[in-house]
Chain A
Amino acid sequence: MRASPLAAALGAAVAVAFVLALPFSVRAQQPASTAPRTPTAATPPAPPKAPKGEYAAPAAVPLAPDAIKRLKSGDLGQIKGALDDIRVSGRAGAAAVPAIVELLKQGLPPTMTQSAIETLGETSSEGASEVLGWYAHHRNVALRRAAIEALGKTRGPIAIKTLRASLSDPDENVRGLSATALGELKAKEAVGDLFVALDHKVEEAAASIGELCDPAECVRLAGKLGSVPFDVMTGGLDQVLLRPPKDVDDETKIKIVGRVRELGTAETNAFLKDVQTKWPPKSAPRVKQAIDQAVIATSGSPGSSAPEGSP
């Protein structure tokens, strides 16, 4: 007799919640072996490791051994339970991806469809991208949004192709989610599309461009200052200024700080101060100096909190 998948899921959820409550640095160092294990987990497949240098996922709950069998049961209740279990297992649920994909290809009722899509996203399995690409153009906008969010996790060329196409979706939220996901996927080939999207008021595109742009593209982004609302631009410029020097050189950053400084508004002062506080110690002193000077120069702007000339 198998253990209740619901109990296992609850246990895992508590464990995940506990892990998520830890500071990022602690979470990143948490060894997989310390993750709570369900007593029924026999020989679960090892969870895939996060790529080096990227966000390390919390230790996953092993895939319930009968999850795949339940997915194939044809019983909606059992399928629902299995999907819940797999979602909690995260990357460890990758083995169940083909069965979920098959369910989605055959068709499920709307709520179950959404659950299956979200579960595929949690598995971060590239093998799910094709069927998620189907649902990324489903007529039900909730399913489309879910598919786009899931594609942002499953990665791969199919995901990127689908997300680029979804920048043109009729739904504003789908467009925004697609822009964000492309940034998260480091889809540098999509920067051109993201600029077009930004010109079409897909505001999320600014932050993604900031994450992905090469120096010339970053300067192009800064060139949008004045035509794109400043609060939209800050999301992208913030990203650019805080990227490592190997991605964006100091000269480019100084140029961008200069463009921001030229605006001379209270908003720019607040933004520059925020960057100032986030600036890594001893990092890029020339850029830091440019930021400091820009903060001083804009502090006298109408509405800024500090008088002109104050540090």
Chain B
Amino acid sequence: MTSRTNAPNAPGRGLRATTTVALVALTAAVACGGGQTRLNLFSTDWTDDNGTSIDRVWQRIGSKPVPPAVDFVVGVAGRDDKMIGLDLASGSKWTFQHPLDARPVIAGSVVVASGGGEVFALEAATGKVIWRRPTGGLALLGAGDDGSVTVATFRRAGDTGSVLLAVTHDGQIVRQIETKKALGAPAVVAGMAFVPWAGQYVSVIDLDNGDETARVTLRQETSRAWTESGALWFGGIGFVRFDERIREASKGKASTVSVPPRELPGMPKLIPAGTEALPASANAEDKTREYAKPESGDAMASLADGRWYGTYFRLAMGFDAEHARLAWVHLHRANYIGGAAAAGGLVLCDDQGHVTELDAAHGATLSEANLGEPLLACVVNIDGERANGTPTDAKSLAAQLEEAVRADDPQLVIAQKLLLRELATVDDDSATKALVDAASDPRTSPDLLVDARTALANRRNGAVFMEAALARHYDFLKDVLRTPPVGPIAQALGAMKEKNAAPLLAAHLLDPADTEDDVKQAAAALAVLAGPGELPALREFFGMYRATGDDDDMASAVVSVGQAMATIASPADKSARAQVEAAATDPNTVAYARDRLGALLSAQPVAPDPAPARPKNKKK
């Protein structure tokens, strides 16, 4: 059952007076008194009206302008008892001390917050209290504001229902509704409150009379309503615009836009559930988020700049809205805990109190602001602002990926694995260099190292960087304590038929610091790449290991080297092939290699001596 309080003309109570009355007590008192009406608000026996009622609302208010909300940042600091406001347009700041039991909300031109047994609204521009009401300890879910009325929803403790409160900017209660339903975060436009609930409905409540004048059934999860980009939006997993197509929402034909599905670390949410109060302090979900700015296209809704964004601790990523391809990645110095997409970019707030504006195209830093102290949580609202400015740290995607992948930060490893795969798809020599560096860096985590090596083995460019890496060897006195990724480089260079690499690979055959697998891959590549210049190293390796290479990798390397020796031995000097032939029949040769060498030689008969060159006929 839903109870509704109609109090349009509450006599001008002072703020002090209103705080002395608990909201719940007030509700109970009024519910038993006069002026109360009982309507079928939020009823579940409602039959879909095929969009008739919501279309009526659209016809009524669709042409009315939706005032832009402030471009504003609110940081939560102290011990969940301090708010710091930053006006992004003017740069002005304020602080406000008050206990908080939920995340503040920026709505229209006000900041709404709850805590200490009351809900209150601050003027965003100044940080001054414009109204406050007792709540009995209910935590704020969400709020909307149309410039004259603020509508806020609260969740009862113990999952026993919700309360909707509409308050004018002069502190008068316009409407107060209690329901057992789980309401989401509301919006208000032209005296109409839009209240998502039950995951699929948005009820429109006329604040003048408290009636539910319309309802729309949406075909996607919805728990929030808000105004942005001059329009009213509903959302949960995507964005649904309130426009002339809203009447067809129940048929799935509303103007909608969402971010395409894509693997991202931490399973980030685009829109946090509006039916749960967000804690005053940020949690892990705030560090792994998706952001996008819906905007009104000519026909359908779309995402501003063709971009959507993701954050993962210190990383921000920009994606192509159509194909979800990674466009850029930005490595930050601190963990992101809040943000909002803007036209032209993304505004993010970190746990050290910095607010950074990144450009949509490349993820470069456009501007920075500072709230002045570390934050527990941060709320960013961007509506009218367009990100612009001169990027200060523009880099290529390959360079950005390299920086992100090589960041020495254990909490980033899951994202780094994903970014490494992205790096592998960048068709650029610099991406190869980045993979070589990641696979060579002793700080690279073991998890990431495996992926880096795999990606490197599949590269088909950047040979010069691979060869530079091969020139390095383990050297204790020079503090080079990690060998280069010889195996994957050998695989790549072998596939690229890069004969310049043969001497470098031959040197690694003989390096005891390299792993057996690396040696095996180097030998396999040399079977393709080696020339006469490598014969001394090949013979040295073959002699040392054909009877001592007692594991499969080394025995396999012996076979590959034997193959190279038999192939490149010159007709004039058959001693290398003879060495292989002798080993193929010598019982001291490790069995694995002996068997395969025999088969190899059978399949590769001795090349006939070249016929002596005939003297050329001299022209007479």
A1 to B554, CA, bound (A): 43
Is B582 in the interface zone, CB < 8 Å from A? yes
Is B46 in the interface zone, CB < 8 Å from A? no
B510 / chain A contacts, CB cutoff of 8 Å: 134, 137
A200 to B481, CA, bound (A): 12
| A107: contacting residue among B475, B512, B513, B588, CB under 8 A | B588
A200 to B478, CA, bound (A): 9
Q: Using an 8 Å CB-CB cutoff, how does the interface string of A116-157 with B read, 1 for contact, 0 for none? A: 000000000000000000110111110110000000000000
> Are A170 and B548 interface neighbours, CB within 8 A?
no
| B554: contacting residue among A104, A105, A106, A139, CB under 8 A | A139
A168 / chain B contacts, CB cutoff of 8 Å: 474-478
Is A261 in the interface zone, CB < 8 Å from B? no
Query: How big is the A interface, by class?
Result: 20 to 34
> Are A140 and B477 interface neighbours, CB within 8 A?
no
Is B542 in the interface zone, CB < 8 Å from A? yes
Find the B residue at minimum CB distance from A165.
B475
Nearest Cβ in chain B — how far from A104, in angstroms?
Answer: 7
| A170: contacting residue among B474, B554, B579, B588, CB under 8 A | B474
Is A41 in the interface zone, CB < 8 Å from B? no
Is A280 in the interface zone, CB < 8 Å from B? no
Q: Which of B565-581 contact A (CB under 8 A)?
A: 579
> Are A169 and B548 interface neighbours, CB within 8 A?
no
Q: Which of A151-209 contact B (CB under 8 A)?
A: 167-170, 175, 193, 196-197, 200
| B476: contacting residue among A76, A134, A135, A169, CB under 8 A | A169
Is A53 in the interface zone, CB < 8 Å from B? no
Is A31 in the interface zone, CB < 8 Å from B? no
> Are A137 and B548 interface neighbours, CB within 8 A?
no
Find the B residue at minimum CB distance from A136.
B512
| A175: contacting residue among B476, B554, B583, CB under 8 A | B476
Give the one of B475, B476, B479 with max A CB within 10 A. B476
> Are A107 and B546 interface neighbours, CB within 8 A?
yes
> Are B543 and A104 interface neighbours, CB within 8 A?
yes
Is A113 in the interface zone, CB < 8 Å from B? yes
Is B545 in the interface zone, CB < 8 Å from A? yes
Q: Which of B467-525 contact A (CB under 8 A)?
A: 474-479, 510-513, 516, 519
| A196: contacting residue among B477, B539, B544, B546, CB under 8 A | B477
Is A281 in the interface zone, CB < 8 Å from B? no
Is A245 in the interface zone, CB < 8 Å from B? no
A106 / chain B contacts, CB cutoff of 8 Å: 543, 579, 582-583
Is B322 in the interface zone, CB < 8 Å from A? no
> Are B544 and A135 interface neighbours, CB within 8 A?
yes
A286 to B413, CA, bound (A): 66
* A138 with B544, Cβ < 8 A, contacts A76-B588, A170-B476 known: yes
B478 / chain A contacts, CB cutoff of 8 Å: 168
A107 / chain B contacts, CB cutoff of 8 Å: 542-548, 583, 588-589
A140 to B539, CA, bound (A): 18
Is A108 in the interface zone, CB < 8 Å from B? yes
A134 / chain B contacts, CB cutoff of 8 Å: 510, 540, 543-544
Find the B residue at minimum CB distance from A170.
B513
Find the A residue at minimum CB distance from B583.
A107
- Apart from the given pairs A76-B588, A170-B512, 9 other A-B contacts in the complex at a CB distance below 8 Å: A106-B583, A107-B546, A109-B588, A137-B511, A139-B519, A167-B477, A168-B475, A193-B477, A200-B476
16 contacts between A and B (CB under 8 A): A106-B543, A106-B579, A106-B582, A107-B545, A107-B548, A108-B548, A110-B550, A134-B510, A137-B510, A138-B512, A141-B512, A167-B476, A168-B475, A168-B476, A200-B477, A200-B479
**Closest 8 CB pairs between A and B?**
A107-B547, A168-B476, A168-B477, A107-B546, A168-B475, A105-B543, A170-B513, A139-B512
